[in-house]
A and B are shown apart, each in its own frame.
Chain A
């Protein structure tokens, strides 16, 4: 659908292009500027970590990527974002775009449905009707989110009755049920215990083989463990993006980056 050569006639195969290209992205909420002039790309099969203190524009950036800004009154987005070479402002079916982008929110949002229905919702929305097919999808997604063993006997109980860590893995399973090729995680470990956090991090390392992942985190060490490249945002400014290994070995373009990862502020 969205695959294929870029509309400008560029003959480069889609695989060679970055997954997402962001050019001069500016986000405002009324008079408050959340992000000014961001240029950034998300490569295929990478985990891009985004670090920065609260209020640096990380979440606003994620919202813009799947056009969730449309539901936030007063949020204005300018600039250009392409997904597989397509300008996301110009797609005619925004729902089809969103269905290829999985989102995991800071606090797990278990929809008021059973465990099974939480994961089966996205397949149902795209028209999967057969119970046997849904069963397969639900089991596969729960397994990949490292949750299957814990919930296989209570698929029919409410998702909101699971523990916090289980619920967060349920939302990851739900995001996977969309068969996304881009996964956005917004401080997923904020309400999750350390053991579950490590399990989810292992899951993400596996998923990287199949999709691009943008990981917004306020834990600098989490970016260090997971991210291939790390971007540093500070009060709406994109300070720099570089290979994670370089940044954490002290090779930075801007001293503020070094100060932040060393814990001198933020």
Chain B
């Protein structure tokens, strides 16, 4: 009787465990919600600098329609971003042509064909590849790819859409491979076994059952790769030739949105039209990558929900 009374006194006593629990709760809450804070903060920051330009000097026709990016001209500064947009789009486009088949093939090999140690080794290597700093890729483009392209295609300059696109494609491939492989791995083995029991060949199993089942994850992998390529800076700065130009072929040099910001921001006066125009480019990049990531995320969410429905 007495003992029970003693113990119920603890109901109002907050010990170490109680305070630790509270502290951890607060800490993880801050960590978890800080992402919202950062996204909001970044957008406000870019918008504050960029929108000032958008609402004053900005001329949509010029920005999207002219290739004349002459921000430093004293008498007649113009801010035509068309060539930069086309530059980024052409490099990203070529990069996807390189990386999509490459990374999907790699994911299928690792996920469906490789076994045991080979598979583990390949996964580690692919993840290592994904960790190579972009400046190293840029250096490979600048030195090795440059002379290769000059030698093979007999063109005067090897820093062009082809160079940047291939390098960017190789750089985006590991991350796409990893995500695509995860999507393939999420397909239950029972599906493969059932299809194989029907007499399907390995390729028929992959083509008719595994890929359709993993389709959303594969699309998300490709989209994240596109987002990666779109926002990449160092490779396109070093390997594209960085000259304002609407390319006629992959052997023309171009300039990308990201590279322009990186190269010019340090030389502008804070608050000047040029400075704010660069931030406008930033808004454009932000919106495009945000849209791509949001789409990828929506698709991935769709997979999860479907997965839940299948196993009630």
Contact = CB atoms under 8 A, between A and B. Distances in A.
Interface of A: 66, 68, 71, 73, 95-103, 105, 107, 109, 111-113, 121-122, 124-126, 160, 171, 174-175, 178
A111 B205 CA distance: 11
Contacts, number: 66
Given A73-B116, A112-B212, A105 B198 contact: no
Given A103-B194, A113-B209, 9 more contacts: A98-B199, A102-B197, A109-B191, A109-B194, A111-B194, A111-B209, A122-B198, A125-B199, A126-B199
Nearest to B187: A112
A107 B116 CA distance: 27
B310 A160 contact: yes
Contacts of B194: 103, 105, 109, 111, 171, 174
Interface of B: 115-116, 188, 190-201, 204, 208-209, 212-213, 310
A144 B68 CA distance: 73
Given A112-B212, A125-B208, A160-B310, A71 B199 contact: no
Contacts of A174: 194, 198
Contacts of B204: 125
20 contacts: A68-B196, A73-B115, A96-B199, A98-B199, A100-B199, A101-B197, A105-B194, A105-B197, A107-B190, A109-B194, A112-B209, A112-B212, A113-B209, A113-B212, A121-B200, A122-B198, A125-B198, A125-B208, A174-B194, A178-B199
Nearest to A102: B197
B292 to A, nearest CB: 26
Nearest to B209: A111
Contacts of A97: 199
A13 B190 CA distance: 38
Nearest to B191: A111
Given A107-B190, A112-B213, A125-B204, A71 B198 contact: no
A99 to B, nearest CB: 3
Residue picked from A68, A99, A111, A160, most chain B C-beta under 10 Å? A111
Nearest to A126: B199
A216 B194 CA distance: 17
Contact of A121 (B115, B116, B198): B198
Contact of B193 (A68, A99, A178): A68
Given A95-B199, A160-B310, A105 B209 contact: no
A95 B201 contact: yes
A99 B199 contact: yes
Contacts of B116: 73
A196 to B, nearest CB: 19
A95 B191 contact: no
B200 A95 contact: yes
Nearest to A161: B309
B197 A68 contact: yes
B201 A103 contact: no
B71 to A, nearest CB: 53
A205 B204 CA distance: 32
Nearest to A67: B196
Contacts of B201: 95
Contact of A105 (B190, B199, B208): B190
Nearest to B197: A103
Contacts of B208: 121, 124-125
